[in-house]
Structure 1
Amino acid sequence: MEIILRQENKNDFESVFHLIEKAFEKEEYSDHKEQFLVERLRKSDAFIPELSIVAEIDNKIVGHILFTKLEIKSESQIFQSLALAPVSVLPEFQGKGIGSKLILHGHEIAKGLGYKSVILLGHQDYYPRFGYELCEKYNIKMPFDVPAENCMVIALVEDGLKGISGEVVYPSAFFE
């Protein structure tokens, strides 16, 4: 099973919409609207085309990941970072390493673009295997009330989180 990872293009939008819808259909902790979030983010200033990535098997899109710009704001500084949201894999392809490949590939692209960190809200048992740590370790706070164990961050480069703390500022597209 050869998995091809590539940048999403306009011809993929409809397939990706349905993929995300299917991927989150049975998720307990989901509002089941992630596909609409991706559409809004694509039209926002936070969108980075190189960081909207699809996974293909036999010319069929089976996975997608999106990283968008966000900020971490302290009293005296604003730090640029990325949000990972969402990562989606068709249910029949889950558990085959596609999500892992998308995450690791996305990290490499993001690092190449000069980004130093990624923040996410996600499952506490899944993301630590990629090096994600609790945001509270770095005194990084979410702008809304969520369980601390689901708020995670990773440094993409050595010292990528050195001296960084504050509140996460998500792009407005996350809340529309």
Structure 2
Amino acid sequence: MAGPGSGHDVVIREREPADDEAIRRLNDLAFGGPFEGKLIDELREAFIDAVELVAIEHGEVVGHILFSALTTMVDDDAIPTLSLAPMCVHPGRQNSGIGTALVETGIELARRREWQAVVVLGHPDYYPRFGFSAELASGLDSPFEGESFMALELVPGALDGEDGLVVYPAAFGLVS
């Protein structure tokens, strides 16, 4: 795919093990430290990395996104849910459509793999464009709340219910 307005060819594809060092360097650069790189390693080691994509431009990893499996219950029913975290784009390539392409491609792949919902802790001005809603997430008991904690149903009605709970994997270092 071509990055909008970039004039360059950007390819979105699934992560390969050979990408891992470049992914770590990119996350360290984009987030200013090693936390996200360690998180990615731990999610992979726990075998809950369900959808992982990279954006490649001129042979270089310029974007990365990871969706990992979460334990989510709604009215005592297990709902196949993913957490979108982390997602980054090289600082010099931000605002060029790469992040949008990563999120859209990841959501579509998650839908095809029969996941029913996705949650994200992210910028409230960015993620609603993909259908994420803080209102939808407000019905889920989680370590997060407020306008930055959002949910997206991949299957309509998947998160409908009276009593919802999201339990993050140990890699996130949270207690819910």
TM-score (structure 1 length as normaliser): 0.87
1:1-176 alignment to 2 at 5 Å? 1-25=8-32, 33-48=35-50, 51-74=51-74, 76-135=76-135, 139-142=139-142, 144=143, 146-163=144-161, 165-175=163-173
Structure 1's consecutive aligned runs of 4 or more residues displaced over 6 angstroms after TM superposition are none
1:149 aligned counterpart, secondary structure: coil
- CA RMSD between the two structures: 2.0
Distance in 2 (alpha carbons) for counterparts of 1:164 and 1:4: 42
Q: Deviation of residue 129 (structure 1)?
A: 1.1
Q: Deviation of residue 35 (structure 1)?
A: 1.2
Number of residue pairs aligned between Structure 1 and Structure 2: 167
Residue matched to 1:28: none
Change over 3 Å in CA distance of 1:79–1:103 after alignment to 2? same
Q: Deviation of residue 78 (structure 1)?
A: 2.4
1:38-80 residue CA offsets vs partner (Å, 9 max, x unmatched): 11111113122xx110000111110000001002224623222
Distance in 1 (alpha carbons) for counterparts of 2:60 and 2:10: 10
TM-score (structure 2 length as normaliser): 0.87
Q: Deviation of residue 161 (structure 1)?
A: 2.9
Q: Deviation of residue 24 (structure 1)?
A: 1.0
* Amino acid across the alignment from 1:41: L
Which ranges of structure 1 fall in alignment gaps of 5 or more residues? 26-30
Change over 3 Å in CA distance of 1:168–1:112 after alignment to 2? same
Distance in 2 (alpha carbons) for counterparts of 1:108 and 1:77: 24
